[in-house]
Chains A and B, each alone.
Chain A
Amino acid sequence: MSRIQEIADQLNEEIPATEKMLARIPDDKLDWKPHERSMSLGQLAGHVADMYGWLAFVIGRDELDFAEPYDYPQQFDSAALVAYLKKRVEESHKTLQSAASDDVLNETWTLRNGDQILWQDKKNVVVRSTFGHIAHHRGQLAVYLRLLDIPVPAIYGPSADEGQM
């Protein structure tokens, strides 16, 4: 199996649990945050949904520049979050399907803020970090749901609410 195909499969494995979580977010709690220095529920959930589209510019482009405008909806309700997740997954898949071979993963990718280079590495490494970044914030989102007494779905195994063996 090609590495590109493995990445596409990993993306698909991720979606069911994430979609369940986003669908459970109550529209009247989007501004809630567990701590004054934390992201709000709406910000965190929007960030998680958005990251599923990152493979489009990690694999399809050579850099991301924070100094340039980034198209991102600022307001979400629960239905919009799920729709946005699906749109972003689709964008990543489209780029993966158009990749000619695994060779693209050895190309260099750069994260910059104008002239300042923040991070530079092979695309393969950046892809792995992207999946980690998603798991990190999705784990945080699971705590937010718990604190709001919303059942946490099974993600890497059963939660205290669902999927008991």
Chain B
Amino acid sequence: MENTNSTTGRIASALAADFIGDAAVTRRVLERVPAEKFDWTPHEKSMPFGRLAGHIAELQGFPVMIMKEDGLDFAEREYKPFEPTSNEELLKFFDEAVAASKAAILAMSDEDLHKDWTLRSGETVFFTLPKIGAVRAMVSGHGIHHRGQLSVYLRLNDIPVPSIYGPSADENAG
């Protein structure tokens, strides 16, 4: 742990609350992805249903890496995509990633959350952002993007789309 402050910062508390709020909605969407459709894909160039859901679950674990390290280098890190074989496995992976990320965020001081984090592949730098900004881009925006895609996958399979940012054509916000 690189945190230098034993009390959770106000920014960390707010960031963790935002992260948990998004995760609760995401879980409702993942719960509906049926294992028998994991191999289904809407297009030959698209991620299959199970892989897209697995990718969304993986992203929930990214804050651990962002909090504990100062960057990610694709050239150095071997990436093994998570491809779940059952909905239970998908949700277990998701829940564990959310819990680990929540703990990692809450261990940060406000000062440490403003330290730089860099995404690179060897010499090529994609971006450098404060850690809090890296969570916003790599986890929040990125995760919501793929969750939006997953909602289309549900619709195309005639699975009711839950309310996400308001009522869907299938369900009301309530």
Judge if B45 is at the interface, Cβ distance under 8 Å: yes
Place the interface of chain A in its size category.
Answer: 20 to 34
Instruction: Let me know if B141 and A34 touch, CB within 8 A.
Output: no
Interface of A is mostly: helix
Residues of B with C-beta under 8 A to A165:
74, 121, 124
Instruction: Let me know if B142 and A138 touch, CB within 8 A.
Output: no
Q: How far is the CA of A136 from the CA of B163 in the complex (A)?
A: 12
Judge if A76 is at the interface, Cβ distance under 8 Å: no
- Known contacts: A146-B43, A160-B46. The answer to whether A38 contacts B144 by CB under 8 A is no
Residues of B with C-beta under 8 A to A160:
45-46
Residues of B with C-beta under 8 A to A132:
22, 140-141, 144, 165
> Which of A139, A144, A156 is close to B147, meaning CB atoms less than 8 Å apart?
A139
> How close is A43's CB to chain B, nearest CB, in angstroms?
12
Residues of A with C-beta under 8 A to B142:
156-157
Judge if B68 is at the interface, Cβ distance under 8 Å: no
Residues of B with C-beta under 8 A to A131:
141
Q: How far is the CA of A10 from the CA of B127 in the complex (A)?
A: 14
Chain B 113-152, CB-CB to A under 8 Å as 1, else 0, gives 0000000010010000000000011101110111111011
> How close is B74's CB to chain A, nearest CB, in angstroms?
6
Judge if A99 is at the interface, Cβ distance under 8 Å: no
Taking CB atoms and an 8 Å cut-off, the chain B residues in 59-97 that contact chain A are 74
Which residue of chain B lies nearest to A161 when distances are taken between CB atoms in the complex? B45
Residues of A with C-beta under 8 A to B169:
37-38
> Which of B45, B138, B148 is close to A138, meaning CB atoms less than 8 Å apart?
B148
Q: How many residues of B contact A (CB 8 A)?
A: 31
Q: How far is the CA of A142 from the CA of B52 in the complex (A)?
A: 14
Judge if A140 is at the interface, Cβ distance under 8 Å: yes
Interface of B is mostly: helix
Instruction: Let me know if B148 and A37 touch, CB within 8 A.
Output: no
Instruction: Let me know if B141 and A156 touch, CB within 8 A.
Output: yes
Instruction: Let me know if A133 and B155 touch, CB within 8 A.
Output: no
Chain B 156-174, CB-CB to A under 8 Å as 1, else 0, gives 1000000011000110010
Chain A 110-147, CB-CB to B under 8 Å as 1, else 0, gives 00000000100000000011011101111110111011
Residues of B with C-beta under 8 A to A135:
140-141, 144-145, 148
> How close is B136's CB to chain A, nearest CB, in angstroms?
8
Q: How far is the CA of A143 from the CA of B161 in the complex (A)?
A: 16
Judge if B42 is at the interface, Cβ distance under 8 Å: yes
Q: How far is the CA of A34 from the CA of B157 in the complex (A)?
A: 11
Instruction: Let me know if B42 and A147 touch, CB within 8 A.
Output: yes
Judge if B36 is at the interface, Cβ distance under 8 Å: no
Which residue of chain B lies nearest to A148 when distances are taken between CB atoms in the complex? B43
> How close is B173's CB to chain A, nearest CB, in angstroms?
8
Can you report 20 residue pairs joining A to B where beta carbons are below 8 Å apart? A34-B42, A37-B169, A118-B173, A131-B141, A132-B22, A135-B144, A135-B148, A136-B144, A136-B147, A137-B148, A139-B146, A139-B148, A142-B145, A143-B149, A143-B153, A146-B42, A156-B145, A160-B45, A160-B46, A165-B74
Q: A132-B144, A146-B46, A156-B145 are in contact. List 8 more A-B contacts (CB 8 A).
A: A34-B156, A35-B155, A135-B148, A139-B146, A140-B151, A140-B152, A156-B137, A165-B124
